Amino acid sequence: MTDVQTASATHPAPGVLSRIFRTEQDGVPGDGHEQVVLCHDRSSGLKAIIAIHSTALGPALGGTRFFQYATEEEALEDALRLSRGMSYKNALAGLDLGGGKAVIIGDPNKDKNEAMLRAYGRFVESLRGRYITACDVGTYVQDMDVIARETEFVTGRSPENGGAGDSSILTAFGVFQGMRASAQARWGQPTLRGKRVGVAGVGKVGHYLVSHLVADGATVVITDVSEAAVNRVRAAHPEVEVVADTAALLQASLDVYAPCALGGALDDHTVGALGAAGTSVVCGAANNQLAHPGVEKDLADRGILYAPDYLVNSGGVIQVADEIEGFNFERAKNKATKIFDTTLEIFTRATADGVPPAVAADRLAEKRMREISALRTILLPGARRG
């Protein structure tokens, strides 16, 4: 999502508390956070933050990120940013769910243990359904099974425990649908056949995306900081080209660039490199790809078509949301297929309104949050208002 507020001498950048409480000037529901919970369990070493951005459309759904943040402030900043993104993602996906996100501070390879996950699950349970958690960076299906021993408000569990399993499967499928729509908008055909696609990050989602692209006839170039992740892709697809790092990928004469690692992938330098290399489309799985306000306009000014990240990567949340009522993979996949149509709609709206696609996507998500949350003013017999 975009955020056009900037800091100046007369309007300094907001502090953490003002960021949590603030409401945008147009009063759009969902701006500002409803609730932020700090979770600390000394015995297990748990330090976690649960950020509920909006319940305008329903309970806040969003994953739990387990990450070694440099500071607690950095962890809070990530939780606030990611939870706001989930409100917009769930709104555009057509889900009756709000936006939330949680972060656990620590090294998932060293610090994660059963007691810590179960302690976290009890904090989730204490919110009584205002927040529903799932997998994210550093957490996996097996972790959700452990958390579920303490709370019912968890999705992304293993199939043997009644869950949807690995949500990265439909995340990648959804990104591929967004990429097909981008190809339709840019080249007139919904296929990547004959196009050169660069994928930065081939871990959870990226390796599934590569499989879709290869099957569609694309030439694929990849990079990842993990040698194991690269080797996994090469074992399945020996024809894939590998480059040393993201800098090399940006210069690899790409038609499409797919950032699929952590956020902030699209900064001034990256956009400049993409423009200089003649890249036509950016469409990837990473969250919060725009490093700062204005990047979306820079992309548009350079003629690069940007598929908003929280739109095209919503397949995963569609998958875990389906689990809430009893998971059916084909039903969830059919919903994720609609990402193609929504992406085309966003491009059409952007052209009609003369704005970047990221702005058009924000407007559509905000419209849905505003209109559906207004239904709460209609009092139902036997129900409390709101």
**DSSP code per residue over 281-348:** EE--S-SS-B-STTHHHHHHHTT-EE--HHHHTTHHHHHHHHHTT---HHHHHHHHHTHHHHHHHHHH
Same domain for 146 and 35?
yes
Q: Is there a domain that residue 72 lies in?
A: yes
Within its chain, how far is the Cα of 108 from the centroid? Answer: 20
Place of tokens 């689990």: 323
* Strands 219-223 and 196-200, bridge-based pairing: parallel
Residue 6, pLDDT > 80, answer: no
Q: How far apart are CA 98 and CA 106, in angstroms?
A: 27
CATH number at residue 232: 3.40.50.720
Phi, psi of 268 (to 5 degrees): -60, -45
Query: Is the Cβ–Cβ distance between 2 and 14 less than 8 Å?
Result: no
- pLDDT greater than 80 at residue 62: yes
Contact 171, 137 (CB under 8 A): no
203 is in an annotated binding site: yes
Chain centre to alpha carbon of residue 44? 29
Helices (H), 49-113: 72-92
333 is known to lie in a ligand binding site:
no
Are 105 and 182 in the same domain?
no
Give residue-wise pLDDT tens across range 200-237: 999 989 999 999 999 999 999 999 999 999 999 999 99
- What pTM does this model have? 0.88
Whether 90 is covered by a domain: the verdict is: no
**Structural domain count of the chain:** 2
- Give just the sign of the alpha carbon dihedral 330, 133, 14, 266: negative
Residue 374 within a domain: no
User: Quick one: pLDDT band at residue 7, thresholds 50, 70, 90?
Assistant: very low
The percentage of residues in the chain with a pLDDT greater than 90, rounded to a whole number, is: 85
Check whether residue 196 and residue 311 sit in a common domain. yes
pLDDT at 1: 56
| One domain, residues 215 and 249 | yes
Tokens of 333: 């996949």
Same domain, residue pair 249 and 344: yes
Q: Which domain holds residue 109?
A: 18-84+97-157
The residue count for the chain:
386
Neighbours of 108 (CB within 10 A): 16
Specify if 321 maps to a domain: yes
For residue 145, being part of any structural domain is answered with yes
Q: Is residue 382 part of a domain?
A: no
Do 246 and 141 belong to one domain?
Answer: no
Least Cα distance to 189 among 181, 197, 177, 200 occurs for 181
| Domain shared by 135 and 226, yes or no | no
pLDDT at 14 over 60: no
The pLDDT tens digits of the residues spanning 97-149 come to: 999 999 999 999 999 999 999 999 999 999 999 999 999 989 999 999 999 99
Is 240 in the same domain as 360? yes
Q: Looking at the predicted structure, is the pLDDT value of residue 379 above 80?
A: no
* Residue 222 · residue 282 · CB < 8 Å: no
My answer on whether 115 and 216 are in the same domain is no
Chain segment 264-300, per-residue pLDDT in tens:
899 999 999 999 999 999 999 998 899 999 999 999 9
Residues 339, 218 share a domain: yes
What is the predicted pLDDT for the residue at 384? 61
Establish whether 205 is an annotated binding residue.
yes
Residue 153 and residue 79 in one domain: yes
Asked if the structure places residue 258 within a domain, the reply is: yes
Whether 49 contacts 39, CB under 8 Å:
yes
Assigned domain for 6 exists: no
Catalytic residue ranges: 101
Q: What's the mean per-residue pLDDT of the chain?
A: 92
138 assigned ligand-binding residue: no
Is 206 part of any known ligand binding site? yes
Given 120, 138, 157, the domain boundary residue is 157
pLDDT for the residue 27: 44
CATH number of the CATH domain containing 54: 3.40.50.10860
Question: Is 320 annotated for ligand binding?
Answer: no
Same domain, 119 and 182: no
